[in-house]
Chain A
Amino acid sequence: MLIRLVVVVVLVLLLWLGTRRMKIIPTRAQVVVEFILGFVRNNIVVETLGEKDGKRFMSILMTIFFVTLGMNLTGVIPGLQIAGTSVIGLPLLMAVVAYVLFIYAGMRKYSWRFFKNALILPGVPKALTPFLALLEFLSTFILRPITLTLRLLMNMVAGHMLLLLCFSATEFFFFTVLANQGNPLGFLGIGTFAFGIAFTVLELFVAALQAYVITILAAIYIQMALADEH
């Protein structure tokens, strides 16, 4: 729980200071902040939802991105070492937010017809309609939040497990096998340590990637809910 607090404080500080004095001609720091914010704004939100709808959901989608990114990155930050998202709470929260968002977007635009549009596909033989509606219901309203949650959670858990495995093995080889037993097999620890470093770098990448994925999926779900009737 302390990790979350740290992440929130750091995020608030960075975003607050980064956007405190936005100038027309940006400073270096502003360029960096603007690049990241602009990436989420343009490449994720506006590109998926368009300018108008993008504006409506900009804040919450950006929040999803930055909270996920921040919590993911704690997995590789020395001293924290465990991703805030490698416990199910946060991924579940993100999924619930995304779920509520796309249903809200659809309901807002089509009211109850949204569910009919989502479930009943045009041009399908009458006999198959209930069957397909059931499948659509499962995929849209049941599986989406579950996949969102589990994708993020498992990525982070797996990363954490891998790092834990590598570094535990390193410790085991160096201190138990090499130092205590004097067995040269302990030099294997060098290899496991190298793997640990490599996976740390990979985790950095995965942290950013998963933040991107969950945000763009939320945006796409909203876009599909807003899309014109089939």
Chain B
Amino acid sequence: MLDTFAVRAAATPSLLFPAVPDLVWGTISFAIILVLFIWKVVPRLNSALDARRDAIEGGLKRAEEAQAGAQDALEHYNAQLAEGRAEAARIREQARDEARVIRAELIEQATADAARITANAKTAIESERQSALVSLRAEVGSLAIDLASGVIGESLNDDKRSTAIVDRFLADLEAADRAGEVGRSKAKA
């Protein structure tokens, strides 16, 4: 045991006075580790910690932004909804107005159509009446001629003459009629 101590003591030249190689190699070791720390370890550690802090802060910020975005979207949608409702009401009102206009137009047109049809009918009736009158006049004329022929026993078949007679007769008749009409309207007035 004492031998071991003696060997140890011999191997360790002095406890308090450093050997030169001891100092040199210790310093070199220290320098290597120091360089490693300055160069790699501390920057890496700091960047990792910073990255983590950024990630956390960024996450919080993103969440806030998302919430603000959602709020904005909600307001936007609400505004849109209100706008849509107003729009719908406006369109309904417009449709109602248009319907009213269309109905009025239809009624007007129907009225016009009715008036037109009535007028046409009147015209048709008038023309019918005219044609009836003309044919009646011719018939009445021939009947009257026949009758008169029978009465006077003489043929009035000479067309030219008979036609002139009838025409004169009818003209007289019409003149009388017109005079009567005038008299009636005068009496009315």
Chain A positions within 8 Å of B, measured between CB atoms, are 1, 4-5, 7-8, 11-12, 15-16, 19-20, 22-24, 34, 37-38, 41, 55, 58-60, 62-63, 66-67, 84, 87-90, 92-94, 97, 153, 157, 164, 168-169, 172
Contacts and interface: CB of A to CB of B under 8 A. Distances in A.
Given A67-B30, A93-B30, A164-B8, A1 B37 contact: no
Contacts of B46: 55
A60 B15 contact: no
B15 A16 contact: no
Contact of A12 (B8, B22, B30, B32): B32
B145 to A, nearest CB: 131
Given A97-B30, A164-B8, A22 B48 contact: yes
Nearest to A1: B25
Contacts of B29: 4-5, 7-8, 67, 84, 90
Given A62-B37, A93-B23, A88 B45 contact: no
From B18, B38, B46, name the one whose CB has the most chain A CB atoms within 10 angstroms: B18
Contacts of B12: 87
Contacts of B17: 88
A140 to B, nearest CB: 22
A168 B1 contact: yes
Interface residues of B, number: 35
Contact of A59 (B16, B27, B30, B37): B37
Given A62-B42, A88-B17, A4 B26 contact: yes
Interface in B1-39: 1, 4, 8, 12, 14-19, 21-23, 25-27, 29-30, 32-34, 36-38
B138 to A, nearest CB: 120
Contacts of B34: 59-60, 63
B161 interface: no
A89 B28 CA distance: 12
B85 interface: no
A194 B25 CA distance: 35
B116 interface: no
B18 A15 contact: no
A31 to B, nearest CB: 12
A11 B30 CA distance: 11
Q: Give the secondary structure class of A's interface.
A: helix
Nearest to A160: B8
A58 B42 contact: yes
Contact of B45 (A37, A97, A169): A37
Q: Which 7 A-B pairs have the closest CB atoms?
A: A89-B22, A22-B48, A19-B44, A89-B26, A59-B37, A63-B34, A59-B38
B41 interface: yes
B172 to A, nearest CB: 129
A24 B47 CA distance: 10
From B14, B17, B22, B46, name the one whose CB has the most chain A CB atoms within 10 angstroms: B22
Contacts of B22: 1, 87-90
B25 A15 contact: no
B108 to A, nearest CB: 80
A179 B41 CA distance: 53
